Amino acid sequence: MNRYNWARGPFSGFGLFVAAAALIADQAHKYWMLYVFDIGSRIPVGERSPRVPVTSFMDLVLVWNPGISYGLFPQSSETGKLVLIVLSITASVALSLWLAHLVTRFTAASVGLIIGGAIGNTIDRILYGAVADFISLHAGGFNWYVFNIADVAIVAGVVGLIIDSLFLGHKTVVKSQ
């Protein structure tokens, strides 16, 4: 019996579990930051946006990103927001189907992280019209872009795929019987 098919492979369940874990962590953090910690009300005198210092190199802030990564392609129109939502959902479905063809747990986890992060940011677009970002890293006068847990999951997933591609023999052929 062939254990592979177009929609379900040996690591599909694991990859979807990782996606769900990333999604839950992202949405729980966003809920806490917005409604429990109430970052929006923590604006220091003389500043336009909330900024809460955590360490000498990290602040918690509230930035609404109407675009994609790094604020690219900002969308203020309803049509633009809808296009980003449809693209994110399409990419998540395509990645979910790709899980059926993956032959390692590591690669499935990497793809799962990307799926979970993409869905987390898509939920923000649907609920708020933009993605809520909170973590600001800075050192020596250099400020990194502001990001959230979903962004961390997506970047970690992409790094995992690069590691798999370069070092872990991702080209292993699975023979069906």
Q: Which residues are catalytic?
A: 133, 151
Calpha distance 114→122 (Å, rounded): 12
Q: Judge contact between 41 and 50, C-beta under 8 A.
A: yes
CA angle 94, 159, 21 (to 5 degrees): 60
C-alpha of 100 from chain center: 21
For the chain, helix, strand, coil in percent to 5 are 55, 15, 30
Specify the DSSP class assigned to residue 9. Answer: -
